[in-house]
Every structure is written in structure tokens, then in C-alpha cells.
Amino acid sequence: MAWHKVPPLSSRFLVSGETALQIDLRAIPAGNLPEIAADAAEALRLRSWRYDRHHTDMTEAKRPSLATAELVLGECVDAVSTAWPRRSAVCEGVAFARALVSEPGNLLHPQAFVEECRALETLGVDVEVLDEAQMLAEGMGALLAVGQGSAQPSRFLVMRWKGGRGGDDAPPLNPIHPLDPTTNRLTTGA
């Protein structure tokens, strides 16, 4: 099986009634397997994300049944294990962002958004919140005008990443991931 078929496969099995999925990647050449397995695990995790928080009328047949997915790797488990923590962190960040943009505005009002984003402070993100008076002082009149249509007060969130928790040697966040022309893969930016 080609590793790029893993996400559609996980999607097909997500609500199939099956509770476990096992994918054998041992046929992939050993030199390529660690990176391909990490790619497949990342794709599997990203593709299986769902936001069903407010779907109270969902039938059992539409609820996710797949609880575990296992990639069979053979000899390269240690190599994949070293590549996975960074990939896992990216997946967690994507899931966090997806959950925020999926939440309806009547529930994720400005102050609730601020409270959700404060969780990022434990990861080394500086979070600064401007209230309406500070926003007015900064010349954000147009933004405040939009906020007047809400019963909730406006907030402006400034987040700064400085490389991790106090002194961690973490790579900088890089929103641009150019294609590496030699491998035709996305680069990490680090």
C-alpha cells in the first residue's frame, strides 16, 4: 500500500463500525520508512479529526467508531519515534486551530477566545489582551465599530512566540513551508 492512501483509508474506516485499524508499512524500503511512516501517521491523525461537539442528534451509525490505528513498522520504530513528537505537536496545533474556527460565534465570543488562547502560554507563547479602551487608544476604531453589533465586549489578542518555554531551544514558528525541489516535499522551515 502506498502511504498516501492512509488518510482516505482512515476516513473510510472512521465510521465503519470497526474499532481498530492496522496498516502494515514494512514493504516500504527501510531507508525511506521512518520519514514515510511519520508522514503517514501525521496524515492519519489530521484526516481523522472531527468536530462533533454540538451534533447532539447524530445517529450511532454516524459516530466515529475507530478508536485506534496502528502502523506496523518493523525495524525502524526508534527512528519514527524520534520524528513523531514534533509531528504530533503540529497535529495538536492544527486540531486546536480547527476547533477554534469550528466553534460557533455565539459560544466563542471574544473573551472565550482569549481564555482558549491563554492555554498557549504554557507552551511559551506570550499572550497580550487589549480591551476596548486600549484598542481605541491604538486607533482600532473600525474594529471597535464592528464589535458594537455584539453584546460581548471587543478584545484584541496579540500572541508572540519567542521560541519555547523559558530558554528551550525550540525552533521558531514558520507559517511558510516551501516545497523542496530536490525531494518534492514540504520543508519544515527549521
List pLDDT tens digits, range 119-148: 988 888 899 999 999 999 999 999 899 888
Q: Tell me the whole-structure pTM to 2 decimals.
A: 0.71
Residue 42 carries which side chain, given as an amino acid letter?
A: E
Q: Where are the alpha helices (DSSP H) in 59-117?
A: 77-102, 110-117
Q: In angstroms, rounded to a whole number, what is the distance separating the alpha carbons of residues 92 and 103?
A: 17
Phi-psi region of 146 (alpha: psi -120 to 50; beta: other; left: phi over 0): alpha
Count the residues in the chain.
190
- Position 75 confidence tier, pLDDT thresholds 50, 70, 90: confident
**Euclidean distance between CA atoms 190 and 172, whole angstroms:** 7
- Short-list 145, 110, 149, 146, CA closest to 130: 110
pLDDT of residue 5: 61
Query: In a 10 Å sphere around its CB, with 0-12 CB exposed, 13-18 middle and 19+ buried, how is residue 159 labelled?
Result: middle
Decide which of 86 and 78 is more confident. Answer: 86
For 20, residues 6+ apart whose C-beta sits below 8 A from its C-beta are 66, 67, 68, 69, 70
CA distances from 29 to 32, 33, 61, 72, 153 (A): 6, 6, 38, 14, 57
- The confidence score (pLDDT) of residue 173 equals 44
Task: Report the distance separating Cα 150 and Cα 111, nearest Å.
Answer: 12
- pLDDT confidence of residue 29: 75
Angle at 97 between CA 85 and CA 52, to 5 degrees: 100
pLDDT, residue 182, reads: 42
Q: Identify the band that residue 184 occupies on the pLDDT scale cut at 50, 70 and 90.
A: very low
Domain ranges of the chain: 1-102, 104-190
Query: 2 versus 63: which is more confidently predicted?
Result: 63
- 73 near 25, Cβ under 8 Å? yes
